[in-house]
Each structure stands twice: as C-alpha cells, then as structure tokens.
Amino acid sequence: MKDIKVLIVDDSAIVRKIFTEELSGERGIQIVGTAPDPYVARDKIVRLKPDVVTLDIEMPRMDGITFLKKLMKYYPLPVIIVSSLTRNGGKLALEAIESGAVEVLSKPGTEYSVGDMKQQLADKIRAAARARVSQREKETPLEEAPVELTTRALKETTNKVIAIGASTGGTEALKKVLTRLPATIPGVLVVQHMPPNFTTAFAERLNNICNITVKEAEDGDSVLPGRALIAPGNYHMLLRRSGARYYVSVKTGPMVCHQRPSVNVLFNSSAQYAGANAIGVIMTGMGSDGAQGMLEMRQAGARTIGQDEASCVVYGMPKEAAKIGAVEKVAPLDRIAQEVVNLL
C-alpha cells in the first residue's frame, strides 16, 4: 500500500516541527508539507494533494472552522481537528465535526509535549485515510420523526438497557440514531471515542435536539427510561446493577483496545449485569473495540445490531464484530433506531 500523504496546518512552528519529526517515523505515513494558516494550506492542498489534513481551530487570518467549511464544499478530503480542547474549544471542535471533520484530537497542555500523542494521532490519520468524505453544501435539518413505541408493555418496561459504541464518524451517526429514539425508550448508554471536554459539548448539543434527555455520565448515575448517558472523555463507563436498579460506574483505568472510554468495557459490563435484557449496537469506527464485548453480550442472550458497510464512515468496528459472529442483525444507519425498537 502507498503511504498516506499528510499536510499539517497549525500556526505554531513548534507544533509543526514536532508533528513532522514524530510522524515521519510512523509506518505508512508521509508528511508532505506544513502550513501556518489556511491561506498557505489552500495552495499546498492543491499542489501536494494530501490524503489527510490535520487542522488547528484557532489560527490567524482565518479560523480553522471557516477554512474547513470552504474545504468541504470545494475540495472535500479527510480532516482531523487537532486543537486545545478547553470547554469552549470542545464546542468549536463539535462544530468542526458537524462541518465535515472526521476526527478530533486534543492537544496536550504544552506545545513541547505534543510528541506524547504521536501514536494516537498516527492511528487517527490511518482511520481518516479510509474514511468516506462527501461534499458538503449546507447543513440539512432533521426531517425524520421519532420511531413510535406501539405497545403499552414496552412503555412500562424499566429493565432493558441499550448500549451503543462508535468511533470515527460516530458523532454524526449517533445524532441520527438518538434523535429518532422516542422519549419512552429504555435507558441508553453511549461510548463514543473522543477526548475530554468534547463529550460535555456533545451531550449538551444532543440534549437540545433529542426527544430523550442526554447528559455526560457521572459516577453513580441511574440508567432511566428516556435518558442517554454519554461516557466522559478519558473515562471508562460500566453498567452496574443494585437490585432492580441499573446505574453506571465512571472510572479511570488502563486503555482497552487503545481507547478510554472503551466500547468493550461498556459491552462486557452490559453482558454481565443486563444479559438478555440488553441490546448492543456497534457503529462506524476504525479498529476492533467493541467486537469481543458484543460477542459476550450475544452469548449472554442480548440482541445485537451492527451498522452496515455502505453507511459507515469507516467500516472497521462493525466489520470486526461481524467477523466473530457478534452481530445478529446488520442495518443501515437510517434504520438502526427502528431496529432497536423492533428488537425491544
């Protein structure tokens, strides 16, 4: 396979230098150029034709989001946001994802420590290179009505749990699924691979547009009908049970499948504590996180759904789950909410 050609866009000369040095040693990655601002980046993209662009948000002359929107309209290609994600920065990064970026990564605290994120950035570059990126004309409004729950028995059920895992492309995919879930849906738990601060903004944005309540999970939160809990960036989220009550444990710990939060951690705990009362959904993303956990869920009697290849930004996690027999039903993105209700 040919090397992935990468253009680094950042106003910091130190960041550009360290990223170039660190990533040049990574197998299959070639740094073809750097740019201090979007105007220089525009010319280099046309001339160098990179496969992936890493993009800072806060830059002189033109901010990264404005540049991204222009890029996705006239010259779409995979873009990874690499920025200092404070709380406000998390909201900007979320806007960048909605504008077409395929991944987001938080810079370390100082410019001199950016080398510490080498492996994580390299993995995201490889994922981005495989992503399906389409031209963006403008934001389209949500048109589909929520799926209806048709039986009284289901509306009164409190012992079901829906566990969902996603990575690359997952923020937009999750929005399409969660906005279609009815207000009386059993409790939903979500692991989306993303850094700290981003998850807070992501949960708040979903809460504003969904029929269900969406919040960033806190340790001890109850799993309730009509509520979705989003695993916080850099923390694992596990399902627990005390008598008839489901709740979540949010904690640190080693990365699993190079991820924290990890889909496998959520799925494993769902298999253990919910068993046949759980539904597992694995969606777009690179790698194998969630595959083994979903298999444990299915072996424990849970129902499982995998997103189909055609609707995935990156068909990695669902593919790995399907390969080992963890996926019971394959569905396109726009059918996943309906299939969840059908399985309930």
Comparing CA positions, the residue from 84, 106, 104 lying closest to residue 96 is 104
Q: How far apart are CA 278 and CA 120, in angstroms?
A: 31
Which among 106, 262, 289, 311 is annotated as catalytic? 289
Which two tokens mark 115?
Answer: 């080398």
List residues bridging with 82 in a β-sheet. Answer: 105
Q: How many residues make up the chain in this entry?
A: 344
Residue 252 DSSP code: -
Which among 99, 106, 167, 269 is annotated as catalytic? 167
Q: Is residue 289 flagged as an active site residue?
A: yes
Strands (E) in 143-216, as ranges, are 161-166, 187-192, 213-216
Q: How far apart are CA 7 and CA 30, in angstroms?
A: 9
Q: How far apart are CA 344 and CA 245, in angstroms?
A: 19
Q: Which residues of 45-77 are buried (b: 16+ CB within 10 A; e: fewer)?
A: beeeebbbbbbbbebeeebbbebbbebbeeeeb
Instruction: Please state whether beta strands 79-83 and 187-192 pair in parallel, antiparallel, or not at all (unpaired).
Output: unpaired
Q: How far apart are CA 160 and CA 47, in angstroms?
A: 54
Which among 193, 269, 288, 311 is annotated as catalytic? 193
Asked whether the beta carbons of 250 and 204 are under 8 A apart, the reply is no
Q: Is residue 193 flagged as an active site residue?
A: yes
Q: How far apart are CA 125 and CA 291, in angstroms?
A: 22
Residue with tokens 């280099």: 44
Cis peptide before 318 (omega within 30 of 0): no
- Catalytic sites, residue numbers: 167, 193, 289
